[in-house]
Amino acid sequence: MKIKRDEDKKKKKLTPEEKELQDLKRAKNIGLLALGASPVLLGLNRLSERKDSKASDPNFHDQPKDSRILKASGIGLGILGAGVHGVGAVKYRKLKNKLKKQQEEDDNTKEEK
């Protein structure tokens, strides 16, 4: 038995505003992912520092090159993630409110007719 499904819902053509809304939501989520990955890199940096340090030598302050790269990557990724998430969230909210107001205006004009 074949089940008929409403294919119009699946293949609904999106307006440019709805496409932009999806892109902004995706950017917001990618920013959160980068922001979450930042502490992981900083934690790996901390672990590599402990492994490479010499506990008996109190003058050992030279970080290995890999450790510095992990630390810089973690900080940079955190800043970048926060920026992308912040900008994406603000633009997403503004566009969503704009579309909501347009929808309400359309509903009001339909009710008046």
| Lowest-confidence pick of 31-40, 46-55, 90-99 | 46-55
For residue 90, what are its two tokens?
């603000």
CA distance linking residue 21 with residue 99, whole number of Å: 10
The total number of residues written for the chain in this structure: 113
Check: CB of residue 34 under 8 Å from CB of residue 88: no
Between the alpha carbon of residue 92 and those of residues 41, 73, 76, the distances in Å are: 28, 27, 24
3-state secondary structure of 62: coil
| Lowest-confidence pick of 63-67, 86-90, 98-102, 107-111 | 63-67
CA distance linking residue 40 with residue 50, whole number of Å: 16
Q: What is the band of 46 on the pLDDT scale with cuts at 50, 70, 90?
A: confident
What lies within 8 Å, CB to CB, of 80 at 6+ separation is: 34
For residue 13, what are its two tokens?
């053509």
Q: What is the pTM of this model?
A: 0.68
Q: Tens digits of per-residue pLDDT, 14-39?
A: 888 889 999 999 999 999 999 999 99
